[in-house]
Structure 1
């Protein structure tokens, strides 16, 4: 594949790096340690089944859903757009 000035394999390295960073980010967000009995955000009890299924869980389902919505990352665009390159 012709890549212009980039060395051979550079595109695949960027793809691999992006995937590796996404995996590391996802792993770092996994809960660890002992699960809480009560949600740290709203103090509602966390069901036993949830605590057993997710070791280290700290939020109830509704608070976790809200936190997930807030923390949706757009990711990293390594290529950029033509507009960003012209600025």
Structure 2
């Protein structure tokens, strides 16, 4: 029965669910398969050390940084919401 009040532990449940969703989303974006020797965007050589450190890498460092900046601008998290808005 909905009473309008959150139950005990509701805030922590919300936090846990948010963290789990973020981890799943991050894991789904991890590259798989063999690394490329040349960047798929600018065709610059990808150093062997980067290919070994990041399995499945497809972009050079500069293109990856640009891609990450673009992704952070598009993220839709409301990190400034009040506690009340998180319980609804």
Gaps of 5+ in 1: none
Specify the alignment match of 2:30 in structure 1: 30
Specify the alignment match of 2:14 in structure 1: 14
- Moved >3 Å (runs of 4+): none
Specify the alignment match of 2:42 in structure 1: 42
Specify the alignment match of 1:64 in structure 2: 64
Greater RCO (CA < 8 Å, at least 6 residues apart): 2
Gaps of 5+ in 2: none
Q: CA offset at residue 75 of structure 1?
A: 2.1
Instruction: Give the Cα separation in 2 of the matches to 1:80 and 1:52.
Output: 40
1:48-83 residue CA offsets vs partner (Å, 9 max, x unmatched)? 110011110000000000000000124255x945xx
Query: What is the RMSD of the two structures over their aligned residues, measured on CA atoms?
Result: 2.1
TM-score by length of 1: 0.79
SS of the aligned residue for 2:7 comes to coil
Instruction: Please identify which structure carries the higher helix content.
Output: 2
Between the two proteins, the alignment pairs up a number of residues equal to: 78
